[in-house]
Amino acid sequence: MRLALISPKGVAMGTDEENKRTRSIYEQLNHIESLKELMSCPNLPLLAVGALAKDDFDDIVYIDEEIETIPWNTPFDMVAMSFMTQQATRAFELADKFREMGTYLIAGGMHPTNSPEETLQYYDTVFIGEAEITWSEFISDFRKGLPKKTYVNDCEIDMNQVPIPRYDLLNMTKYKTIPIQISRGCPHNCEFCASTKVYGPRYRHKSVERVLQEIEIVKSYKKNPHIYFTDDNMLVNKKMAIRLLDGMKDGGFRWMTHTDISVADHDDVLERLYPSGCRKLVIGFESIVPESLKNIEKWKYRRLDSYGESIAKIQSHGIGVWGTFIVGLDSDDKSVFQRVIDFTMNNHLYGAMISVPTPFPGSRFYSRLEEEGRILTRHWGSYTLWNVVVRPTNMTVQELQDGFEYTLNQIYSKEASLRRMTHFKEIFQTMRR
């Protein structure tokens, strides 16, 4: 049997008007190489499925629609897709085409887990939650000709039992960044986040030895790789983080990950980041408007006054902080755009990821806005975080869209980019001294 692991397109899947506007915005931005690194990455859940299915199929191929076309003339017995909400529109289009060809279709990942009924309109079987345990049950049923519509995981997966992803299926020359997952689960419960429903709130991680093994496997396929640890909050377990950072010291690769601002409280972690190859941390500040932040996540709200000091401390170790911000939240007025610009520039953030409120299915945010009747579209290809898909409270839809574009243009202007580069040159000169 032949299995195709297909990652659907998630870029330029909005309306024609949205796609045209997005291209226009990003063509004007300066020095966004790091942003491209974050956005150009293989689909790690599919590589994990490839490992689970290794002994069940004679041939397995990985197809990433962002970099290659689907070989429609090649027959596959089964097609598996894992996708997030912004990929769902395209995933459903692909499913219709494969269904006409008689291919058995399975789906999993963030959107199918949170919208299984919708996904079952297009796929034969949907995996809800983590698939490491339910895969063997499915493949056994499939061989008997009795596969179920859904396979629901209700167990907490031991991360050391997760198979090593099939990195050998990748065309490494096509990717700048290679993903590795160390942990699952996040102790925070942000209103807009849907991942807790998939992975749960308890932080679980692989052993240090296992992580180092996966790094070596990636390095065997790609020399001096740039690694993206995809965890929601990689450094939350400080004892484990210190052991891992020591193990990665002088490892011949660079890496980035997500964490929260509390990393600034731990000098023993900060001093190990740069020698281990870390160059960027993505930190979700979410908002610098107090009332907005309080409504999103009270833990972050309590840290708001120390954001600037914490950023300076982290970056003094040679680690660029990528801040993430949502503009247009319910307590935001039109002043939020300039406030985010000023915060980003005054604190010399290495980069900023600006988004508009986007209610992903499965999140508390989606449930609330659906009840309030404020969701403007369920065309999932528009859910890219930069298209306005909900009705804001203190501004019009057009004002939010215009303010979002203005914020990006100011932060990534030539002058702003030069200021950032100059600031980091001074940090590195200080470190060398």
Check pLDDT > 70 for residue 38: no
Q: Which of 418, 338, 355 is nearest to 30 (CA)?
A: 418
The Cα–Cα gap between 61 and 251 comes to 30
Q: Taking the CA atoms of the chain, what radius of gyration do you get in angstroms?
A: 22
Q: What is the pLDDT of residue 193?
A: 76
User: What average pLDDT score do residues 149-167 get?
Assistant: 93
Residue 189: pLDDT over 80: no
pLDDT at 28: 87
Q: Are 205 and 161 in contact (CB under 8 A)?
A: no
Q: Is the pLDDT of residue 195 over 90?
A: no
In the 8-state DSSP scheme, what is residue 370? H
**Residue 380 DSSP label:** G
Give domain limits for the chain: 2-152, 176-432
Residue 70 predicted with pLDDT over 70:
yes
- The pLDDT confidence band at residue 385, using thresholds 50, 70 and 90, is very high
Reference 165, options 11, 60, 76; nearest CA is 60
Question: Residue 232: its pLDDT value, please?
Answer: 83
- Residues 192, 180, 320, 415: is their CA dihedral positive or negative? negative
Residue % of the chain over a pLDDT of 90: 82
Pick the CATH number of 176-432 from 3.90.1300.10, 3.40.50.300, 3.30.1300.10, 3.20.20.70: 3.20.20.70
pLDDT at 250: 95
Q: What is the mean pLDDT of residues 272-284?
A: 96
Q: What is the mean pLDDT of the segment spanning 126-146?
A: 96
| Interval 210-239 mean pLDDT | 94
Q: Which of 1-15, 22-36, 71-85, 389-403 has the lowest mean pLDDT?
A: 22-36
Residue 188, pLDDT above cutoff 70: no
Query: What does pLDDT average to over the chain?
Result: 93
Q: Which residue blocks in 249-297 are alpha helix, DSSP H?
A: 267-273, 290-296
pLDDT in tens, 355-380: 999 999 989 899 999 999 999 999 99
Give CATH for domain 2-152.
Answer: 3.40.50.280
What is the pLDDT confidence band of residue 230, given thresholds at 50, 70 and 90? very high
45-66 per-position pLDDT tens digit = 999 999 999 999 999 999 999 9
Paired with 71 in beta bridges are none
Residue 299 in tokens = 């833990």
- Asked if the domains 2-152 and 176-432 are classified in one and the same CATH topology, the answer is no
